[in-house]
Structure 1
Amino acid sequence: MAARTRRPERRQEPLSRERIVSAAVELLDTVGEGGLTFRALAERLATGPGAIYWHVTGKTELLAAAAEAVVGPAIAGADTDATPQEAIRALALGVFDAIDAHPWVGAQLARTSWQSPMLRVFERVGRQVQALRVPEAAQFTAASALMNYILGVAGQNAVNTRTVQPGTDRTEFLDTVATAWAELDPGQYAFTRDVAGQLREHDDRTEFLAGIDLILTGIAARR
């Protein structure tokens, strides 16, 4: 009888910190922070928890690395060919889109807002504030206002996304809320009733950038 040729076994991709972080991001996107456990991560990577601990010390480090992987590309660009206003708008929108695509990262960045990667965002924003020739005494305030707006609005947008039932049509949802606003007591909610139509038609990214422009206009006025 002829000997059967044994097919070579398929080699598994070596476990690395990059693979672990990538798998963690996938878990966070699908099941949220509560579902990110080393057991679930080990099952996804077809390995043991001990092998993961060789690369990361615990969940805190893993969350920080996952946030860096998500936000890092948004803040890696250079600003050499842009005006300070354009650079700030592009950076802010990059962070907004990253948090919109990965809603869990907003809470993580809020917990570590003065560490990387948000520290790098602060540095880039601050350099553009300096390029706008903001007086030195006002530079920290200007950069902090921009940072707080970026993180706060992007994070709130992510929260709003999570609270809406999956599969809900955005247009229908906004129409329902706007209709409810329009029917509020005019004595207590005159302004809210007045802007109900704008809520129905607004675009989140456009409104976000409009807010950035308002802050930049205020910075320019103080300058």
Structure 2
Amino acid sequence: MATNPRRPERRQEPLSRERIISAAVELLDTVGEGGLTFRALAKHLATGPGAIYWHVTGRTELLGAAIDSVVATTIAAVDDADATPQEAIRALALGVFDAMDAHPWVGTQLTHAPSHSPMLRVFERIGRQIQALRVPEAAQFTAASALMSYILGVAGQNAANTRTLRPDTDRTEFLDSVATAWKELDPDEYAFTRNVAGQLREHDDREEFLAGIDLILTGIIALQRPTG
């Protein structure tokens, strides 16, 4: 009696902590923080919630690991041993800006992060570049903190703005409507705002962000210790 040939078993990629975190980032990007549950993650990974708990103890640890993964990837992408301190800071700042733009949930979660935040990696690298710029030791913390505050503040606000706009919103039309509204403000109370309305209409978020970094760097470089 003929027998059917045995079908080879489908080999599945083994479940690992790295695979779980990668899947969590994908879910956060598509459904946001509210949609990240162990049930949804288990379905995304085609496994059971119990298998995930073997690698991750809970949602808080999972969110922290997801942020750490994004930050680590960002840092690795911009590391350049040959860059000047200014170039390294600009590249790192823009990397964080782009990462938070691509993963808007990161900014929200950083405000709830513990003291050992993944962003300490960014702070450490900025601090080393501040030292390389020969900034006096007494001013190094202030200089690094100013850069961090600007990076997180502007990048976070940009990500928040992106989340509030509808996906089908045309950026040019949106900025044009806001600029038009600024132009119609009271000329005595909002003289400056009316004057720069045209620049709002034409500005590029990334270029404006880097221009702000350069302004801060100009002030930091003025603090350099004299050589010789």
Common fold: TM-score over 0.5? yes
User: How far off its partner does 1:24 sit?
Assistant: 0.6
Q: TM-score, normalised by structure 1?
A: 0.96
Quick one: distance in 1 between partners of 2:182 and 2:162?
19
Q: Secondary structure at the match of 1:222?
A: coil
Higher mean alpha-carbon deviation, 4-13 vs 140-149, is at 4-13
Quick one: distance in 2 between partners of 1:92 and 1:110?
18
The letter for the 2-side match of 1:171 is T
1:162 aligns with 2:158: no
Which segments of 5 or more consecutive residues in structure 2 lack a partner in the other structure?
none
Aligned-residue RMSD, C-alpha = 1.3
Quick one: distance in 2 between partners of 1:20 and 1:116?
20
Match of 1:206 in 2: 207
Match of 2:98 in 1: 97
- 1:20/1:52 contact within 8 Å kept: yes
User: How far off its partner does 1:84 sit?
Assistant: 0.7
Higher mean alpha-carbon deviation, 112-121 vs 102-111, is at 112-121
The letter for the 2-side match of 1:146 is L
Quick one: distance in 2 between partners of 1:12 and 1:219?
53
Match of 1:17 in 2: 17
- 1:110/1:151 contact within 8 Å kept: no
Quick one: distance in 2 between partners of 1:138 and 1:114?
22
Quick one: distance in 2 between partners of 1:134 and 1:48?
53
Higher mean alpha-carbon deviation, 78-87 vs 18-27, is at 78-87
Q: Deviations over 1:160-185 (max 9, x none)?
A: 00011111111111111111111111
Higher mean alpha-carbon deviation, 3-12 vs 61-70, is at 3-12
Q: Deviations over 1:199-221 (max 9, x none)?
A: 11111100000000000011122
User: How far off its partner does 1:115 sit?
Assistant: 2.3
User: How far off its partner does 1:188 sit?
Assistant: 1.4
1:126 aligns with 2:99: no
- 1:24/1:66 contact within 8 Å kept: yes
Which segments of 5 or more consecutive residues in structure 1 lack a partner in the other structure?
none
Higher mean alpha-carbon deviation, 151-160 vs 182-191, is at 182-191
Quick one: distance in 2 between partners of 1:130 and 1:46?
48
